Amino acid sequence: MSPSKRLFVFDFDWTLIDADSDYFVFEHLSAELSKIQLDSIGKVQWTDLQQRLLGKLFDRGVSREDIERTLANIPFVPERIEALKLMKEHGSDLYILSDANTVYIETILKAYNIDNLFTGILTNPASFDSKGRLNVTRYHGLDKEPHKCPLPCEPNLCKGLELQKLIDSHPWEQVIYMGDASNDFCPSTRLSRERGDLVLARRGLSLEQRIKERPELVRAETVYWQDAQDVLEVTKDIFFGRDRTAAALGSLSGSTAASSTTSLSTMVDSSSSSSSSSSSSSSIVASPVDEVKPSSTQVLSAVESFDSKMFAQAVKA
């Protein structure tokens, strides 16, 4: 294995696609079940809820083909595909780390012929049975000990633990994690400033809020983005140099908003960066997990981590 490879790890819903796949399926196949789904946010564990609702969808005569066709209609923005191909062309390993499920993600990637770009997909297992009923189960099953992560991770998936396994599997040149929601905060704390790792956080959603609440836990540089064009620009900066855009445009001093002409250096959050800088200058960098005491109930954590679902609801409204 080459020691110079980069590792890119992506959340899926509202990160690689501009939608929530769990929500999209029911919104387009059953208005009644879509309403039940939204009304159940925070009341039923999300993966368990999908399993129940998929059973009801099957009972209403919705076929495997209906589900697959609906998933294939979820837009995948061309600039994101261009960014992913750029990463792959430069020898990087790409992983998806998601609270959706294998069928949803693999169907969408195959619809855009980009499934071959990814080394692995870590998400809730799913499969159709012989009658066409889709079943989904928790990634971290009820048959296992709870993962006991004190950060706002779902009981069925601590993304930080899974990212840590990937980080430990190879001497990566750089690790880049991209996400949007509260359950993307834990993996964001696993990155290293010394290695030049990056957190790519979607602006305006709860990952940004979490990072700004606890900047001392995120040691890597944080870059905020709003859309696929921003992500493409950041990707070009990673591979071709962060002064690339600045050199083309001249001075960008005073620019703060992310846009299609914004370089990575102007998208880095200054408060987070300076906080991280001061911590990295210390000879001892405390483990972020060790610093955090369990402060909320599992129920509250679950409710808080449903923010993408709530965002989906807000967008629809």
Of 266 and 308, nearer to Mg ion (C-beta) is: 308
* Count of positions on this chain that bind Mg ion (CB under 5 A): 7
- CA 73 to the chain's CA centroid: 20
Binding residues among 273-312 for Mg ion as defined by CB under 5 A: 308
Q: What is the DSSP string of 54-117?
A: HHHHHHTT--HHHHHHHHHTS---HHHHHHHHHHHHTT-EEEEEEEEEHHHHHHHHHHTT-GGG
Of 62 and 126, nearer to Mg ion (C-beta) is: 126
Query: Is 93 designated active site?
Result: no
Q: Which stretch binds Mg ion (CB under 5 A): 10-18, 74-82, 147-155, 251-259?
A: 10-18
Query: Is 13 designated active site?
Result: yes
Q: Which of 11, 154, 269, 307 binds Mg ion (CB under 5 A)?
A: 11
Task: Report if residue 104 touches Mg ion, rule: CB under 5 A.
Answer: no
User: Is residue 2 exposed (0-12), middle (13-18) or buried (19+ Cβ within 10 Å)?
Assistant: exposed
Angle of helix 21-29 relative to helix 46-59, nearest 10 degrees? 20
Task: Report if residue 68 touches Mg ion, rule: CB under 5 A.
Answer: no
Of 62 and 200, nearer to Mg ion (C-beta) is: 200
Q: Which of 27, 68, 180, 208 binds Mg ion (CB under 5 A)?
A: 180
CA distance 273 to 260: 22
- Taking the complex as a whole, the smallest distance from the CB of residue 12 to Mg ion amounts, in Å, to 6
CA distance 68 to 72: 6
CA distance 159 to 266: 28
Q: Which stretch binds Mg ion (CB under 5 A): 12-20, 35-43, 108-116, 187-195?
A: 12-20
Task: Report if residue 23 touches Mg ion, rule: CB under 5 A.
Answer: no
Residue ranges binding Mg ion (CB under 5 A):
11, 13-15, 180-181, 308
- The residues carrying an active-site annotation are 11, 13
